[in-house]
Amino acid sequence: MSLYKINEVFESLQGEGSYTGLPSIFVRLQGCPVGCPWCDTQHTWTIDPESELSSAEVMAQNTESSNWFEQSVEQLIQLFADQGYVAKHVVITGGEPCLYDLSAITTRLIDDGYSVQIETSGTYEIIAHADTWVTVSPKVNMPGGKPVLKSAMLRANEIKHPIAMQKHVEELDQVLLLLGDSPIPNVYLQPISQQKRATELAIKTCIARNWRLSLQTHKFIGIE
């Protein structure tokens, strides 16, 4: 039986990428060794056994926390029902969700009529149902020292790349070479922390490359 270490579960709107605006259930998994300096979920990085609580205790928290709970797919689906969630799109994020074998959870959710999306750094093999939508946000030259995998780039349905300066665009150009002759999926540039300079660079580059702009819409409208 597959068990997943979960930092939080909540229902909101997807604020980024192709599914922007879609009601979604977010399942945030615990654990990430990539170490992005600008990460806004650093509380999910470490899996500390002393931080494990019950699902009820974690779900009752209303602030970011390194606490986590462990559940099976069956328990998680029951949690959706107990919470009264109505969204039919599930976003599995982190942390780095591909630390886990996601085949069981993605298969069950798809069989139950959900669409499923994974948000990953591309530094781990993606093990999931074939119909899962994969968003790769390639993390290049991060402190964790983990390379972006060719297999992850080839599996991507969309590529979402945070940028703050020109070197981040150049890093993306390098990682896109992993695709070889394969078609490049839609590329979204996302300004880091909505900085004015980053936003202007993203707009300029998207127009020049025929790429797309991804704004963290949920932050603009003040939702999780």
**Spans of all domains in the chain:** 3-160
**pLDDT (0 to 100) of residue 143:** 81
Strand positions, DSSP E, the chain: 3-13, 23-29, 69-72, 89-93, 115-120, 133-136, 158-163, 186-191, 212-213
Sign of CA dihedral 42, 44, 50, 51: positive
- CATH, range 3-160: 3.20.20.70
**pLDDT (0 to 100) of residue 222:** 63
Q: Confirm or deny that 196 is annotated as ligand binding.
A: no
Q: Confirm or deny that 93 is annotated as ligand binding.
A: yes
Amino acid identity for residue 200 in this structure: E
Instruction: Record the tokens describing residue 39, joined without a space.
Output: 């990460």
**pLDDT (0 to 100) of residue 223:** 57
Edge-first strand order for the sheet with 186-191 is: 69-72, 3-13, 23-29, 89-93, 115-120, 133-136, 158-163, 186-191, 212-213
**pLDDT (0 to 100) of residue 218:** 59
What is the spatial distance between Cα 161 and Cα 198, in angstroms, rounded to a whole number?
12
Q: Confirm or deny that 206 is annotated as ligand binding.
A: no
Tell how far CA 56 is from the center of its chain.
24
Q: Confirm or deny that 41 is annotated as ligand binding.
A: yes
What is the spatial distance between Cα 153 and Cα 109, in angstroms, rounded to a whole number?
24
**pLDDT (0 to 100) of residue 140:** 86
What is the spatial distance between Cα 118 and Cα 91, in angstroms, rounded to a whole number?
6
Taking residue 208's Cβ as centre, other Cβ atoms within 10 Å add up to 9
Q: Confirm or deny that 107 is annotated as ligand binding.
A: no
Q: Confirm or deny that 14 is annotated as ligand binding.
A: yes
Q: Output the CA–CA distances (angstroms, integers) from residue 53 to 56, 69, 210, in the order listed.
A: 8, 5, 46
Instruction: Record the tokens describing residue 172, joined without a space.
Output: 């993306």
By the 8 A CB rule, do 27 and 59 touch? Answer: no
Q: Confirm or deny that 138 is annotated as ligand binding.
A: yes
**pLDDT (0 to 100) of residue 221:** 55
Q: Confirm or deny that 109 is annotated as ligand binding.
A: no
**pLDDT (0 to 100) of residue 193:** 72
**Low-confidence spans in the chain with pLDDT less than 70:** 1, 216-224
Which are the contacts of 117, defined by CB distance < 8 A and separation ≥ 6?
A: 14, 19, 24, 89, 90, 91, 92, 132, 133, 134, 135
